[in-house]
């Protein structure tokens, strides 16, 4: 069987969506380098990188440049950037353990889902057609719903980051103050809270479903 040439390997690295992925890494590095000195600029760069996450997926499908490397790059970039932001919020708010718990849930859920997908021979961790949970199917099967939940999480974290203007403020106090403002930010905050809550439920369901898939794989292998 013919081995792939170096030229073929290089072409995957130079896929348009993968190039966007590299740009996202650079943007995130620059943003986090400024997170303590220029919070508005960090928020803009972070959200711009998040928008590019949707763009690279669209371009991958449009130009038929879907790749395993691109999927892994996208997943790692998403998880690391969100983890870093949650780690920052754990420093700014009390109790910080809430954000560390969310960080752990996010990574565990997505890592287990991707690993169990590959064990099942799937080409994407978003393939949940064999799952029984309707919410998980709705999340991955209806892109606007998934987009709402993902955007809600990131926007909520960005708002909390921007409002953390004193050392270790209480999360509950800041949240209530934002809602009490009765402004556009208040409305966005409430909407993102709703989407964020759904996303966390989905993360728990996804983690349990992926764990069940791994156990099923072990059971079949030992028979």
Q: State residue 217's pLDDT score.
A: 84
Sketch out the chain's domains with CATH numbers.
6-222 (1.20.120)
pLDDT in tens, 14-40: 999 999 999 999 999 999 999 999 999
Q: What is the pLDDT of residues 149-190, one digit of tens each?
A: 999 999 999 999 999 876 668 999 999 999 998 899 999 999
Q: Using the predicted structure, report yes or no on whether residue 10 has a pLDDT greater than 70.
A: no
Span 97-140, pLDDT tens digits = 999 999 999 999 999 988 888 888 776 777 787 777 899 999 99
Residue of 8, 53, 74, 78 marked catalytic: 78
pLDDT tens digit sequence for 52-69: 988 888 888 888 898 889
Q: Report pLDDT for 120.
A: 81
Q: What is the number of alpha carbons within 13 Å of residue 42 lying toward its C-beta? A: 20
pLDDT of residue 27: 96
CB neighbours of residue 142 within 10 Å: 11
Q: 222 or 138, which is more confident?
A: 138
What residues contact residue 140 under an 8 Å CB cut-off, 6+ apart? 126, 127, 128, 146
User: Cα–Cα distance between 42 and 36 in angstroms, integer?
Assistant: 9
How many Å apart are CA 201 and CA 139, to the nearest integer? 11
On the 0-12 / 13-18 / 19+ scale of CB atoms within 10 A, 195 is: buried
Q: Which pLDDT score is estimated for 97?
A: 95
Q: Which residue has the higher pLDDT, 123 or 208?
A: 208
The pLDDT of 80-85, averaged and rounded, is: 96
> Which CA distances in Å does 199 have to 105, 119, 130, 185, 202?
11, 24, 20, 20, 5
**What local confidence, expressed as pLDDT, does residue 1 receive?**
47
Least confident of 81-90, 159-168, 205-214: 159-168
Mean pLDDT of the region 194-206: 96
Task: Give yes or no: 78 in active site.
Answer: yes
Give the 3-state secondary structure of residue 94: strand
Radius of gyration of the chain (CA): 19
Position 176 scores a pLDDT of: 92
pLDDT given at position 68: 84
pLDDT at residue 218 is higher than 60: yes
Alpha-carbon gap, residue 29 to 44, rounded angstroms: 13
CA angle 96, 99, 103 (to 5 degrees): 140
pLDDT of residue 42: 96
Dihedral sign of CA atoms 53, 57, 62, 67 in order: positive
Determine the pLDDT at residue 168: 65
How much is the pLDDT for 167? 64
């Amino acid at each position: 069987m013919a081995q792939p040439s170096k030229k073929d390997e290089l072409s995957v690295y130079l896929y348009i969506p993968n190039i966007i992925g590299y740009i996202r890494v650079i943007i995130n590095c620059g943003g986090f380098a400024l997170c303590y000195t220029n919070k508005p600029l960090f928020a803009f760069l972070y959200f711009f990188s998040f928008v590019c996450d949707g763009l690279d997926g669209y371009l991958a499908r449009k130009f038929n440049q879907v790749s395993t490397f691109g999927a892994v790059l996208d997943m790692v970039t998403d998880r690391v950037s969100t983890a870093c932001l949650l780690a920052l919020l754990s420093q700014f708010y009390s109790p910080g353990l809430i954000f560390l718990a969310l960080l752990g849930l996010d990574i565990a859920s997505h890592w287990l889902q991707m690993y169990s997908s590959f064990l099942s021979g799937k080409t994407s961790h978003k393939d949940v057609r064999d799952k029984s949970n309707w919410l998980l199917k709705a999340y991955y099967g209806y892109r606007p719903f998934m987009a709402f939940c993902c955007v809600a999480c990131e926007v909520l974290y960005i708002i909390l980051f921007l409002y953390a203007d004193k050392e270790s403020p209480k999360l509950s106090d800041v949240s209530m103050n934002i809602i009490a403002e009765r402004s556009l930010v208040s409305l966005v905050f409430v909407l993102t809270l709703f989407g964020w809550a759904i996303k966390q439920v989905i993360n728990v369901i996804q983690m349990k479903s992926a764990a069940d898939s791994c156990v099923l794989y072990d059971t079949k292998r030992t028979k």
